[in-house]
Amino acid sequence: MPRTIAQVRAYTVRGKGADYHDQSGYHWIDDHIATPMSVYPEYRQSRQSFGINVLGTLVVEIEADDGTVGFAVTTAGEIGAWIVEKHLARFLEGRPVTDLERIWDQMYRSTLYYGRRGVVLNAISGVDLALYDLLGRLRGEPVHALLGGPVRDELQFYATGARPDVAKELGFIGGKMPLHHGPAEGEEGMRRNLDALADMRGRVGEDFWLMWDCWMSLDVDYATRLAHRAAEHGLRWLEEALIPDDYWGYAQLKRQVPPGMLVTTGEHEATRWGFRQLLETGVDIIQPDVNWCGGITELIKISAMADAHGTMVVPHGSSVYSYHFVVTRTNSPFAEFLMMHETAEKIVPMFAPLLLGEPVPENGRLRVPDTPGFGVELNPDVERSRPFTH
């Protein structure tokens, strides 16, 4: 008989951690990056000014009836803690730890009237990942073994950050930069974007992948013009050019970009139904975030559907939670590493300082550890609180 779930607990943490936009002091990740809010000049310089970091980190702990505890982290803060404690916990406590599918389905169906995506799916993802962690710990196996085992010996990474030139030195296969100026900054902003790309191309040489992360800031017309002008500097892909709801725009953009340039998106999409719509647009790479899209139980379905469309799945960030998945799938040939060092010049663990044992790539590569569950522990020195109980 499988173990049963004794208790579900939700905690919040402020500063860094899973809410990696929650940085203080200078950080490249908050330095005049183009966003959907860039149409308002007063919100252009800092994403924190419009509240990109309001949520904070959610930690979900699930305890089995023998006292074994699994956990996971995501971006959802207090609102997520409330959803887990007051609504989702009832679908877990007293159930077998192996009931992944039924638990996911009940969490999703029961929250449909206020959920479907966004913070509710972040909370569901956190619960699902904590359950995988618990199952791995109980069985003494890494999560990648629960998913069918690795299809390659190690992962290779591209780096996201302000310094692709440093990423190249560190052994990454490519560098993805934030786009700094959106359509509201006119031709001057367009020129600055292209100058930055040309400058970086000059530093990294011809063959190194360079990509742009547009964080939902563009429209189809601007994105098309940007893509054509960027082609001469060898831009490999244009990421998340449009708002996530504009599936029709993505289909049009895919038809209009120069041959060979990839259109990628999906980090703010959730569930198999959202990704079905996205796959039908014809984008080249989908980028679900396993901490936000519904967890591993849902990513398995999204990935299989993408595979049948001949589309690559390169998950957004998510550290160990995506590494254990990516290593088990042939249509996920590489992974993202988000450079959380303030100037992107050094490698630091993505969710630092929240996790102990969080692995980082060396020379752009990583052998996913075989330690049980996701192989990480909560750092006891990081203060957390439990705002709600049930």
Ligand X SMILES: C[C@H](O)[C@H](O)CC(=O)C(=O)O
Q: How many CA atoms lie within 13 A of 339 on its CB side?
A: 31
Identify the H or E element spanning 338.
strand 335-338
Retrieve residue 223's tokens: 């994105």
Decide: is 213 part of the binding site for ligand X (CB under 6 A).
yes
Which residue's CB is nearer to Mg ion, number 132 or number 237? 237
Should residue 85 be labelled a site residue for Mg ion when binding is judged by CB under 5 A?
no
State which H helix or E strand residue 230 sits in. helix 220-231
Q: Does 215 bind ligand X (CB under 6 A)?
A: yes
Can residue 178 be called a binding residue for ligand X (CB under 6 A)?
A: yes
- The H-assigned helical ranges of 281-330 are 295-308, 320-326
At 264, which helix (H) or strand (E)? strand 262-265
Residue 19 lies near ligand X (rule: CB under 6 A) = no
Q: Quick one: 16 or 316, whose CB is closer to ligand X? A: 316
C-alpha–C-alpha distance, residues 9 and 84, integer Å: 8
Q: Is 239 annotated as a binding residue?
A: yes
3-state secondary structure of 366: strand
User: Does 267 count as an annotated binding residue?
Assistant: yes
Residue 316 bears catalytic tag: yes
Asked if residue 33 binds ligand X (CB under 6 A), the reply is yes
Query: Binding marks (x or -) toward ligand X, 334..373, rule CB under 6 A?
Result: --x-x-----------------------------------
Q: How far is the CB of 6 from ligand X (least distance, A)?
A: 36
Largest Cα span, the chain: 66
Contact 145, 76 (CB under 8 A): no
Instruction: Name which of 63 and 289 has its Cβ closer to ligand X.
Output: 289
Rule CB under 6 A: is residue 172 a binding residue for ligand X?
A: no
Q: Which does 382 bind (CB under 5 to 8 A by kind): Mg ion, ligand X, none?
A: none
Q: Is 29 in the site for ligand X (CB under 6 A)?
A: yes
Please give the order of strands across the beta sheet that includes 5-13. 5-13, 57-64, 69-75
Q: Minimum Å distance from CB 336 to ligand X?
A: 6
Sign of CA dihedral 113, 118, 121, 126: negative
Which one of Mg ion, ligand X, none interacts with residue 61, CB within 5 to 8 A by kind? Answer: none
Residue 319 binding result from ligand X, Mg ion, none, given CB thresholds of 5 to 8 Å by partner type: none
Q: Report 206-225 residues binding Mg ion (CB under 5 A).
A: 213
Pick one of 63, 267, 269, 342: the residue that binds ligand X (CB under 6 A): 267
Cα within 13 Å of Cα(118), Cβ side: 9
Convert residues 301-330 into a mask of x (bound to ligand X by CB under 6 A) and - (unbound): ---------------xx-------------
Binding-residue pattern over the window 152 to 171 for ligand X, x denoting contact by CB under 6 A: --------x-----------
Q: Which residues from 227-286 bind Mg ion, rule CB under 5 A?
A: 240
In three state form, how does the secondary structure of 161-176 look? Answer: CCCHHHHHHCCCCEEE
Q: Of 316, 324, 341, 390, which one is the catalytic site residue? A: 316
State the residues that interact with Mg ion by CB under 5 A: 213, 240
State the residues that interact with ligand X by CB under 6 A: 29, 33, 160, 178, 213, 215, 267, 316-317, 336, 338
- Going by the annotation, the residues of the binding site for Mg(2+) are 213, 239, 267
- Residues marked as catalytic: 316
